[in-house]
Amino acid sequence: MKSVLITGGSGLIGSAMKQIMDDYKLEFYCTFLNSKQCDLCNYSETLKIFSEFKPDIIIHLAACVGGLFKNMSDKVRMLEENVLINTHVVKAAHESGVQTLIGCLSTCIFPDQIENLNENIIHDGPPHFSNEGYAYAKRLMDIHCRVYRQSFNRNYFCIIPTNIYGPNDNFNLEDGHVIPSLIHKAYLSKQRNNFFEIRGSGKPLRQFIYSLDIAKLIFQLMEQKVSENIILSPSDQYSIKEVAEIINKHFENDIVFNNSFADGQYSKTTDNSKLKDLFNFEFTSLEQGISETIEWFKLNYDTLRK
């Protein structure tokens, strides 16, 4: 039985993988690593724990992450912490003899103002300025994995998910991604009998993937022994306004848009044809995923990340 070590094991995707793991009769034994067990910004700690576990596969999900406004206001931290974490994980994986590593990128790495984003154009131009710290750190991990493939024949590659949401997310109003922060804001608006304020015009378009869907896809990628970068995304796009309206069905607030805030990148449309060629995967609808996330949010409000 192969052993799998998952960094970021208590985060959004790691928690989803843990939740559905028993549904998959895999020849894998999974260990979920969190930041309390190892500081991945410290190379000695990272190498020590990888050498102790001796995994066959590493799923690298740990990262310093946030939504649009954190990416814009804290670019230095987003760049430096992610460069450290990713460099240490990839290097320590090689040094401890790990043959397969799956890193996690993001669609914000893609060049700005290019339509139909695919796996082959990651480095074809600068990313949108709002995400540049985080985006360049993630691009560097893609290069790092590639040179290990070329130099040492390691099976190191990356998944590129679109906007992820679901239970166990970070629902912080300032640092969270768009769906969890909007859910929290809608909840507070209902509690306080206030307007549900959306920052920006609500016009930008995004693709969203439910955390349990990406967990299922990662398990299937391991089964299929995929060895090249792949975008994980449904085809449908939604405006931020449409997302807010879906969320608001559960709270029934009056929605207002605050145009004094930046919209960020207007559209990041991904080409998921490589994924569709591999799997006939049925994605969770945005309405269902948001409904399940809100239900979890209400049940766990006192203890969740916010």
First to last CA, the chain: 38
H helical segments located in the chain = 12-20, 43-53, 68-73, 75-95, 132-152, 178-192, 211-224, 240-248, 273-278, 286-299
CA distance 253 to 236: 26
Chain-centroid distance of CA 155 in Å reads 21
Chain-centroid distance of CA 137 in Å reads 14
Q: Do 268 and 240 meet the contact criterion of CB atoms below 8 Å apart?
A: no
Looking from the CA of 97 toward its CB, the CA atoms found within 13 Å total: 7
Active site residue 134: yes
Residue tagged active-site, from 24, 29, 43, 134:
134
The length of the chain in residues reads: 306
Q: Which value, in Å, is the radius of gyration of the alpha carbons in the chain?
A: 19
- Pick from 95, 231, 256: nearest CA to 160: 231
Q: Do 125 and 114 meet the contact criterion of CB atoms below 8 Å apart?
A: yes
- Pick from 278, 288, 172: nearest CA to 228: 278
Residue numbers annotated as active site: 134
